[in-house]
Amino acid sequence: MMNTALVVMKRELRGYFTTPLAYVFLFVFLFFANFMTFRSPFFEARQADLRVFFDLLPVLFLFLVPAIGMKLWAEERKSGTIEVLFSLPVTVGRAVMGKFIAAWLFIAVALLLTFPMVITVNYLGSPDNWVIAAGYIGGLLLAGCYLAVSMFCSSITANPVVSFILSVVICSLFVFADYPSVLLVLESFLSAAMLEAVENLSFVLHFESLRRGVIEFRDMAFYVLFITGWVLATAVWINGRREAG
């Protein structure tokens, strides 16, 4: 199974690094990550850490990840190469997994390229590097959630722009699910149990502990189950379309 998934993964990764658009995404992400982290309040606070960077990640990912994921399946359908893909000896599940891993690795590269910020804060002070490492682990898992949603949205439309907009909207719901203003609106027509369930779906809520250096089972379980669920939904949808078509 992994052999064909790896073939798809390599095909996708090659596609990322042979197009200028991927480098534009990386530049924009790195520019805003560095600019927003090291703007004037950073030096005024006199505390060398990456707290600001990890606070910004949910918002940065809200646009970066859907931009990466919007073409995963939409472009295949738009250009007709999806038929070519499935003419190869590869199952839907392996194709979906290969594409997801490739996009996730690309995002991991984007995160890895922020490593100079880690060097900078260590030069300026003595940060807790375990907290920073946990934040990066959480950031990668957080990106996986955005990407899983984006890949599903890409599978249900042949228009990458529509896929991008749907991804941003759906991911926004999960990002702001635990915001007090959102919960205040929802409490007027949801029970306490349902309100708590909505709050627990928040990406930010489960990222909070990780960015503070605390790895909890419930947060890890949430990310694994969330990513698995949306990836499976993508595979089921594409398989259904393939059999119907």
Q: Which of 23, 4, 159 is nearest to 89 (CA)?
A: 4
pLDDT digits (tens, 9 = 90+) for 152-185: 999 998 888 999 999 999 999 999 888 777 777 7
Per-residue model confidence (pLDDT) at position 222 = 93
Per-residue model confidence (pLDDT) at position 185 = 77
Measured N-to-C along each axis, helices 51-69 and 92-112 cross at an angle, to the nearest 10 degrees, of 140
Find tokens 């480098």 and name the residue: 23
Per-residue model confidence (pLDDT) at position 141 = 95
Please tell me what DSSP assigns to residue 126.
-
Per-residue model confidence (pLDDT) at position 42 = 57
Please tell me what DSSP assigns to residue 158.
S
Per-residue model confidence (pLDDT) at position 243 = 64
Q: Which of 78, 87, 71 is nearest to 242 (CA)?
A: 87
pTM, full prediction: 0.89
Per-residue model confidence (pLDDT) at position 158 = 84
- 3-class secondary structure, 114: coil
Cα–Cα separations (whole angstroms), residue 184 to 187, 199, 214: 5, 11, 28
- 3-class secondary structure, 78: helix
Distance CA 137, CA 158 (A): 32
Cβ atoms of residues 114 and 199 within 8 Å: no
pLDDT digits (tens, 9 = 90+) for 116-153: 999 988 888 788 889 999 999 999 999 999 999 999 99
Per-residue model confidence (pLDDT) at position 46 = 63
Distance CA 196, CA 194 (A): 5
Residue ranges in the chain modelled with pLDDT below 70: 1-2, 40-48, 79-89, 242-245
Distance CA 143, CA 136 (A): 10
Distance CA 57, CA 207 (A): 10
Distance CA 171, CA 135 (A): 20
